[in-house]
Chain A
Amino acid sequence: KNEVEQSPQNLTAQEGEFITINCSYSVGISALHWLQQHPGGGIVSLFMLSSGKKKHGRLIATINIQEKHSSLHITASHPRDSAVYICAVSVNNAGNMLTFGGGTRLMVKP
């Protein structure tokens, strides 16, 4: 069993829909990261969080430490949001090295 599991693996939405991507992890962590990767492109850090909730534009990330679960929400989705979204965790006592989930491939149709 992977230490970081994401769901769903693939997601197709219509423009304007509210989107939720989930991440569960099985180890103690110091922080959780949400990353975005466009096709053939580099990786961009969206959020780093260790508790509560963060918001940036139409993106919202939440984390529940007790339940070992995080969600990434996209409000009013747009075709330019189409990308792979990756959850990654900094495991306790492992410095800043990240352990990654398998990613969620999101396609937003106009």
Chain B
Amino acid sequence: NAGVTQTPKFRILKIGQSMTLQCTQDMNHNYMYWYRQDPGMGLKLIYYSVGAGITDKGEVPNGYNVSRSTTEDFPLRLELAAPSQTSVYFCASSPQGGYGYTFGSGTRLTVV
């Protein structure tokens, strides 16, 4: 099993550009999440999904959008990138009970 796969690993964006961070899991987990990790800060929840077709906002959703058309995929869309979105982004998944929480390897995004 590959677990949670995130692409790309690194990206530099110019202010105002858009991009999609890809996330795929092969563990048939219902729950998927996007977190961001800023230097010296704890991870914060951007969006989450409890199943295909269902998404909801987390603590810091502004400037992002998500979709969940299949159980496996949970892409994160950045529209009009801003320097404040410079961060490391982690996708994660878990079964309903939470045991077996699995994180992707992260995407380091810099907006200049």
Interface of A toward B, CB cutoff 8 Å: 2, 4, 30-31, 33, 35, 41-45, 48, 86, 88, 90, 95-103
B48 CB, nearest partner CB in chain A, Å: 6
Question: Could you tell me if B31 and A2 are in contact, using CB atoms closer than 8 angstroms?
Answer: no
A10 CB, nearest partner CB in chain B, Å: 11
Question: Could you tell me if A97 and B104 are in contact, using CB atoms closer than 8 angstroms?
Answer: no
Question: Could you tell me if B41 and A45 are in contact, using CB atoms closer than 8 angstroms?
Answer: no
Question: Could you tell me if A97 and B99 are in contact, using CB atoms closer than 8 angstroms?
Answer: no
A44 neighbours in B (Cβ, 8 Å): 103
Question: Could you tell me if B42 and A42 are in contact, using CB atoms closer than 8 angstroms?
Answer: no
Q: Which A residue's beta carbon lies closest to that of B45?
A: A97
Could you say which of A30, A96, A103 contacts B31, with CB atoms under 8 Å apart?
A: A96
Question: Could you tell me if B102 and A45 are in contact, using CB atoms closer than 8 angstroms?
Answer: yes
- Contacts between chains A and B (CB distance < 8 A), count: 58
Q: Which B residue's beta carbon lies closest to that of A31?
A: B98
Q: Which B residue's beta carbon lies closest to that of A41?
A: B105
How far is it, in angstroms, between the C-alpha of A41 and the C-alpha of B96 when the chains are bound?
26
How far is it, in angstroms, between the C-alpha of A108 and the C-alpha of B100 when the chains are bound?
27
A-B contact pairs, 27 of them (CB 8 A): A30-B98, A33-B101, A35-B103, A41-B105, A42-B103, A42-B104, A42-B105, A43-B92, A43-B106, A45-B101, A45-B102, A45-B103, A48-B99, A48-B101, A86-B42, A86-B43, A95-B48, A96-B96, A96-B97, A97-B45, A97-B48, A97-B58, A98-B43, A99-B42, A100-B44, A101-B42, A102-B40
Query: Counting CB contacts under 8 A, is B90 at the interface?
Result: yes
How far is it, in angstroms, between the C-alpha of A97 and the C-alpha of B92 when the chains are bound?
10
Q: Report if A102-B98 is in contact (Cβ < 8 Å); known contacts: A42-B103, A97-B33.
A: no
A96 neighbours in B (Cβ, 8 Å): 31, 33, 94, 96-98, 101
A101 neighbours in B (Cβ, 8 Å): 42
Q: Which B residue's beta carbon lies closest to that of A4?
A: B42
Q: Which B residue's beta carbon lies closest to that of A2?
A: B42
Question: Could you tell me if B42 and A90 are in contact, using CB atoms closer than 8 angstroms?
Answer: no
How far is it, in angstroms, between the C-alpha of A45 and the C-alpha of B93 when the chains are bound?
12
B102 CB, nearest partner CB in chain A, Å: 7
